């Protein structure tokens, strides 16, 4: 009988091959593990960069919309004086509740109304000159409030009423809204605000009436008497609408530049 013997030297190649395969598998697992780590890292980094881009974009949009900056600053200061106001930064509007100034159906001011208007005048007189070219460089604070040199076109004092009709005078709401707005307009105009003019040499302050054609933005779904009374109280208001024109760094520009900047973002 012949017995085949395999020397240790003959077995070495097969053992080395198996060890090579095992080492290759370990290497592939290591590479896969590194790849997974890199993918996770890249995902986190992309998220971080995207957040940073969104933050910069938001900041640019806000800077491109100085109306919000103006309304925000005015609103903060007015509220600090205890004046009940509502802000609409998108429209550039600050609403003074007429019920706090006038009795229902009246344009004669209530007790305490003059104090409210006086405080409003005080705040406006602190900030509005910073948006008028002839006055904004007189105060170092203006360089912080109006960094981009935005020009104020007008501050429109607008009178509103509820939709109650008066049989003896179908146009009374128009007259009532205008009379209320004119009273606030005259009081604001007694101080420095009445002397300020825009870049065209026109008075900053203006006045108008919308009667009941622009009700306040509030739901009227509930028809209970108390809710309706609250809704109508919101409708009876005097609003200050701030209209700006934008002057670019190159000396040209208008409000259209703001729209373009926002759309671009």
Q: Return the closest-CA partner of residue 180 out of 128, 137, 239.
A: 239
Query: Tokens in use for 29?
Result: 């697992």
Exposed, middle or buried by CB within 10 Å (0-12, 13-18, 19+), for 49?
Answer: exposed
- The pLDDT of residue 17 is 56
Q: Between β-strands 237-245 and 205-211, what pairing exists: parallel, antiparallel or unpaired?
A: unpaired
pLDDT of residue 188: 94
CATH for 66-264, among 3.40.50.300, 3.40.190.10, 3.40.930.10, 3.30.1330.60? 3.30.1330.60
pLDDT at 123: 94
Task: Count the neighbouring beta carbons within 10 Å of the beta carbon of residue 180.
Answer: 28
Residue-level pLDDT at 256: 46
Are the C-beta atoms of 198 and 132 separated by less than 8 Å?
Answer: yes
pLDDT at residue 51, as a whole number: 73
pLDDT for the residue numbered 199: 86
Three-state SS annotation for the chain: CCCCCCCHHHHHHHHHHHHHHHHHHHHHHHHHHHHHHHHHHHHHHHHHHHHHHHHHHHHHHHHCCHHHHHHHHHHHHHHHCCCCCEEECCCCEEEEEHHHCECCCCCCECCCHHHHHHHHHHHHHHHHHHHCCCCHHHCCCHHHHCCCCCEEEEEEEEEECCCCCCCCCCCHHHHHHHHHHHHHHHHHCCCHHHHCECCCCCECEEEEEEECCCCCCCCCCCCCHHHHHHHHHHHCEEEEEEEEECCCCCCCCCHHHHHHHHHHC
Residues 218 and 224: their CA atoms lie apart, in Å, by: 15
pLDDT lower than 50: segments of the chain: 1-2, 8-9, 12, 15, 57-58, 61-62, 219-226, 248-262, 265
pTM: 0.66
Instruction: Return the pLDDT at 77.
Output: 93
Find the length of the chain: 265
pLDDT at 252: 40
């Amino acid at each position: 009988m012949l017995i085949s013997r395999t020397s240790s030297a003959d077995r070495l190649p097969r053992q080395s091959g198996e060890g090579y395969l095992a080492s290759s598998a370990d290497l592939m697992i290591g590479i896969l593990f590194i790849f997974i780590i890199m993918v996770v890292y890249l995902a986190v980094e992309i998220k971080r960069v995207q957040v940073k881009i969104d933050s910069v974009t938001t900041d640019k949009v806000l800077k491109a919309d100085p109306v919000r900056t103006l309304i925000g600053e005015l609103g903060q200061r007015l509220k600090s004086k205890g004046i009940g106001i509502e802000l609409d930064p998108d429209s550039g509007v600050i609403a003074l509740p007429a019920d706090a100034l006038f009795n229902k159906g009246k344009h004669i001011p209530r007790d305490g109304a003059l104090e409210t208007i006086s405080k409003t005048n005080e705040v406006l007189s602190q900030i509005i000159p910073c948006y008028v070219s002839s006055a904004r460089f007189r105060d170092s604070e203006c360089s912080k409030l109006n960094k981009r040199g935005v020009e104020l076109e007008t501050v429109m004092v607008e009178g509103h009423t509820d939709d109650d009709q008066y049989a003896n005078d179908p146009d009374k709401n128009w007259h009532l809204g205008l009379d209320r707005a004119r009273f606030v307009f005259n009081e604001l105009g007694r101080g420095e605000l009445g002397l300020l003019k825009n870049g065209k040499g026109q008075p900053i302050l203006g006045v108008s009436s919308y009667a009941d054609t622009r009700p306040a933005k509030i739901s009227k779904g509930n028809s209970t008497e108390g809710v309706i009374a609250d809704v109508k109280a919101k409708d009876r208001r005097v609003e200050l609408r701030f209209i700006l024109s934008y002057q670019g760094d190159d000396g040209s520009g208008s409000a259209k530049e703001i729209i373009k900047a926002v759309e671009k973002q």
